[in-house]
Amino acid sequence: MGRRFESCRKRNFFFRLHKLINLKVVNSIALKNKIPLYFYYIGLFLLPSAFVISSFLLLIAVIAENYNKLNQFIKDKWNYPFIISGLIILLTSFIHGNNYASNKLINPDQINIWAGTFNWLPFFFLFWGFQPFLKTKLSREISSKIIIAGTIPVIFSGFIQYFFKIYGPFKTFFGLLVWYQKPIYGLSGVSGLFSNENYTGCWLNIIVPFCIASFFATKNNFLKKGIISSILLGSISLIMLTNSRSAILSLFITFGLFAISSGEIWVLFILLILIILIVFAFILITYNPNIISNYELVPNKFLQEFDKNSFSDRELRIEIWLTSINLIFKNPLIGIGPSVFPYMYTSIRDAFAGHPHNLFLELSLSYGLIVSTIIFLTIILLLYKSYVKLKFEKDNKINSVFDIAWFISFVILLISQMVDIQYFDGRISILFWLLLSGLKVIGNNKYSIKKNILI
């Protein structure tokens, strides 16, 4: 009897999850072969929790769906900037490979010049390859919900790390699945299954807009609203517990952008309440410092993240940025090469900085201003085109809540890369190009007012 009850309970859970995700999109996407679509969905779901398996499945899905469409890759003019950038990256990599051998500051054995190219070249192809899976509003909605569902293990890992002190790393499937679960010490915060709390905060900020969109889209179903609300509140709580300043700031920007773009005043109201509570807490702490130790209203680690005295052993962002800019202008055409910045920074300032804490500067340092300018101008143009389309849809009262969330998620991700670099975590870089791919589709879709359909 007990086994039967447990079996029914499990079936009921998966039925609810199936209803939440709404997999009717499988039959609505115009793909001749549905197998790549299934690989895409499974890979997307596993992306945060099982990166190696996920990336393998996503690559199979993209190749299987697009292997006979390579002529379309060449015809698509939006691919030209990335093709040109890829060729320049290869050329500069050859040049830097020769330069490393003669640079006394750099040990060539410690740098794999070609490893850096894998942070960019495969993703230029994925940008195009993801688009068949994101052609319609419904397909983007389903992708958003699968990303939300895939984030549940992240939230679970974060809570057991913080409240139950369960630390890893945990490895299985011959090391293909790794949850780091690092011990929390010093100023570090919750990182969960990610290797760094900044990565965790970045990922959770990406899914917050999708959670808000799902809450909007769920009508008269308290169970679904309850599930989405739990994931949203769990994500917000963990973002605060990461003690990541960029993640916490991004959270407030997310609520502000969603309130402005969607016209939903209640989102702005929630943001206002959060701001009032935080200001009130800081006023209490200012006039009564003992309140922290007596009641622990605000974790001490969180306060230290905003105390300049806590960072006497770290380099200031402005110093890192200024040094990066000076290095870029010493060789603006091809940069100084990938992975060289830490060595150069140490020799100049006698201090350590692992990267320039800005993705544009990182790309400029690695491959020169030509590459970074081409890539970022293309991204800005894609953002602008999608913004114009979303504004048009809003003016014509077309429901685009998930596309708005898609836009905001990418904007938040891009902003976070301007003050830190989480891009080099493979999960975040895949999501970066997946979101950009979706924006390209949004910007290119044409709307017929007469037929009331997207073309």
pLDDT tens-digit readout, 190-223: 999 999 999 999 999 999 999 999 988 888 788 8
The enclosing H or E element of 257 equals helix 245-262
Closest listed residue to residue 354, CA positions, set 180, 235, 196, 222: 196
C-beta atoms surrounding 177 within 10 Å: 17
Calculate the dihedral angle through the C-alpha atoms of 439, 444, 450, 451, rounding to the nearest 10 degrees: -80
Distance, in Å, from the CA atom of 335 to the CA atom of 197, rounded to the nearest integer, reads 30
The pLDDT score that the predictor gives to residue 347 is 86
The residue behind tokens 């101008």 is: 377
Distance, in Å, from the CA atom of 185 to the CA atom of 362, rounded to the nearest integer, reads 29
Band of residue 231 on the pLDDT scale cut at 50, 70, 90: very high
Mapping DSSP to helix (H, G, I), strand (E, B) and coil, where does residue 415 land? helix
The pLDDT score that the predictor gives to residue 198 is 94
**Cβ-proximal residues to 450 (8 Å cutoff; 6+ apart), any chain:** none
Distance, in Å, from the CA atom of 360 to the CA atom of 376, rounded to the nearest integer, reads 8
First to last CA, the chain: 54
Band of residue 22 on the pLDDT scale cut at 50, 70, 90: low
Instruction: Enter the pTM of the model.
Output: 0.86
Distance, in Å, from the CA atom of 67 to the CA atom of 441, rounded to the nearest integer, reads 20
Closest listed residue to residue 207, CA positions, set 436, 382, 405, 401: 405
Residue 362 scores a pLDDT above 60: yes
Let me know: does 248 contact 299? Beta carbons within 8 Å.
no
Distance, in Å, from the CA atom of 422 to the CA atom of 412, rounded to the nearest integer, reads 12
Residue 426 scores a pLDDT above 80: yes
Write the pLDDT tens digit of every residue in 115-134. Answer: 889 999 999 999 999 999 99
The residue behind tokens 């072969």 is: 33
Distance, in Å, from the CA atom of 154 to the CA atom of 416, rounded to the nearest integer, reads 19
**Cβ-proximal residues to 246 (8 Å cutoff; 6+ apart), any chain:** 198, 201, 202, 416, 419, 420
Distance, in Å, from the CA atom of 182 to the CA atom of 196, rounded to the nearest integer, reads 8
The pLDDT score that the predictor gives to residue 243 is 87
Distance, in Å, from the CA atom of 403 to the CA atom of 387, rounded to the nearest integer, reads 10
The residue behind tokens 């910045």 is: 341
The residue behind tokens 């959670």 is: 211
Let me know: does 197 contact 244? Beta carbons within 8 Å.
yes
What phi, psi does 167 have (nearest 5°)? -115, 155
The residue behind tokens 């989102």 is: 267
Which three-class secondary structure string do you get for 261-293?
Answer: HHCCHHHHHHHHHHHHHHHHHHHHHHHCCHHHH
The pLDDT score that the predictor gives to residue 263 is 62
Band of residue 13 on the pLDDT scale cut at 50, 70, 90: very low
Residue 195 per-residue DSSP state:
S
Residue 169 per-residue DSSP state:
-
Residue 146 scores a pLDDT above 70: yes
Mean pLDDT across 39-45: 97
